[in-house]
Structure 1
Amino acid sequence: MRPFAIVAIVGFPLYFFIWHQLFPQPYENLPLRLVGSALFIPILFSERWPARAKKFLPYYWYATIFYSLPFFFTFMLLKNNGSNVWIESALIAAFVMVLLLDWFMLLLNFVIGIGVAFLAYWLTTDPVVLHAAYSAHLAIFSFAVAIGVVANYDMDRIRIEQERAMLATAGSIAHELRTPLLAIRSGASGLGRYLPSLLETYSIAQQGELPVPKIRLVHLQSMDGVLSRIEQEAIHSNAIIDMLLANARFTGGYSHGAATCSIAQSVKSALERYPFRDGERERVLTDLATDFTFHGSEMLMVHVLFNLLKNALRGIASVDSALISIRLVSGPRTSQLLFRDTGPGIAPDVLPHIFTRFYTSSAGIDDASIGTGIGLAFCRDVMRAVGGAIDCRSVEGMFTEFALTFPRP
């Protein structure tokens, strides 16, 4: 959005000078162009919009495109009596619409935009002159837009099917892995219960000089630790599978309805349930004094925190002094959960894409470089479902901070 906004903000007044001074046209309108530029300014700073306003950003985007492309270019084409310059400009506008809009919004903008432009022309022009060539131009524009609608519809359908296939595959793999992991965990747990008796029996047999194979003392001492690690890794893997399944199944709504939840309790539940490896829990610091509530699902929020913990712990594993901090901040209009780690950070070229579903990068050790690419997209969808937002800022080599913004109940 931002690159196009910059082009529009500069282009509208610039082309007034071109068509008014350098290559004069029959009609020009600076106020209309300034309105077009002004509409794009909020889009340029959309990252600074309040959390409550961000959910309206797509609607504002569509309204701005409606004014600046189909309405403006059709109106100017009519006011300039169908000049060649404006026929070519309108064709370019139709091409840009095909690139920017999905098939439904493309069709809607085209039909309503041209209709409103004709109405504005009829209300502001006397006498109204409609050349016979306009019908031919409309047929050409309609054909171009129709091709764009069909192409965009096919692309949307292919993308949806790809997402469904990848999510179904992820869910299938997770289910297939769960059974052997549970078997490994049960086997390790059972063996751990009987291992002390077996070792004691082995020791008695050795003392009685019975013919039993000799096992080195270091191996005997390591058996108990190995079984504990196997069981812990099985628990950890099962938790990751649960997280993957939750990520794959979430569709942006709540299957059992939303409720008023405590964010501090959600954090505590996540930290109690997350399968930390040895030494990991001590690296997570919390400041939950400023508790606040949100309207949503505690279970989904726990899985959001699971995703953030998984990524952060993987990132700080190579930095001995790195820590994770979870801090709550309550404000008059919005409240925030700030999740920060002092690990290696995220590369600047990767950072804008980390919330894109299935996005992966070959560099770094963040969620965009290892895994399915759905974890942070899941976090974004959950935060949108509660009426909030999730943003990330990172300085490579210093820190990564996720800000989860919640509206006040």
Structure 2
Amino acid sequence: MATAPPRRSLLLLLPQLLLLRSLLAAAAPSITTKAVPRLPGFSGPLPFSLETGYVELDDGVRLFYYFIQSERDPEEDPVLLWLTGGPGCSALSGLVYEIGPFYFDFEGYTGSGLPTLLYKPASWTQVSNVIFVDSPAGTGFSYDTTGNRTIPSDTIVIQQLHTFLQTWFDEHPQFLPNPFYVAGDSYSGIIIPPLAMKIAKGIEYGDERLINLKAAREGCRGQYRSPSNADCANSLQAIDYNSTYFLSEVWINDEPVRESLGIHKGTVPSWLRCDFDIPYTKEITDAVDGHLALIAKGYRAMIYSGDHDASIPYVGTQAWIRKLNLPITDNWRPWYVDGQVVGFTRTYSNNLTYATVKGAGHTAPEYMPKECLAMIDRWLSGKPL
């Protein structure tokens, strides 16, 4: 009987690796980029560097991405690839609602017109460069020029993301020396371990491109929906900001916004934050062995949970960790931000850390951005929580 896929948030630290690129590729993928100094709804020039673009794969898929440089030191800070789950949830959701440097002014929205964007200081771009990518095709602004003749699957997505990274670093070689992390939430927790292993195996075959790959973060499958019409959106104005996502659809379906982002006209008539109806084949049923293989090689890892996660309760995450059969080296203790307890943590052998984030739901940075920024900053710096 198949084992259910693990559902959790995870950070894996890998040693410096070489990223494989096949010399026998039938056609070289290409990339188009666009600098975005301003965004409709944001007052004045953006206080961070934003680039958008498409990586055009040789199978007809066009993967759309947002790249935000670190606001601290882009030449030295890590590069982090962010994948949002689903499958079918756009990377913009992770950018706006979780770890990116701007958010929608929900309280100031009057119910009509373009929402206002506000700067968010508790962003992971304070400590890292971040690539947000829409994957698979059919998600966000990514699309398939072949008319979806090939249904995306776990295996296909892993290969496409691998090629995406190769192509992106070809265009941005100045970031090759930076520590590189793969990150994400929700269903990307199924994709990231085999993607990390695919990169890890590359060094065994003498890959020709050097990328300073360091880590992967993964989360658990979520269930989110946006209001489907204006009446519904207006009625939701009285509901708490964190439980409504409709402003992202209002904003990004505005034509001037699409033009500023360089969206290919006619490819995605109506953007959805999450489209759970896209055709997709789920092939990976058990990722535990993959995690064990990575951990056994000595890669640092951190698994974390929001302790108010109703979708994937932290007790389930702890049960999954117990399947790894790792000895505890530092037992349960609180961790702090500004002198306040913001969660509890435990350390296992093989450099595995588990942490809870107090008061956080399924997508922890969305609920506790300051605390999660402190968490990622300490972890990237090699400091204990």
TM-score between both structures, scaled by the size of structure 2:
0.24
Q: Which of 1 and 2 has higher RCO (CA within 8 Å, sep 6+)?
A: 2
- Larger proportion of strand: 2
- Larger proportion of helix: 1
Q: Looking at CA atoms only, which structure, 1 or 2, has the larger radius of gyration?
A: 1
TM-score between both structures, scaled by the size of structure 1:
0.23
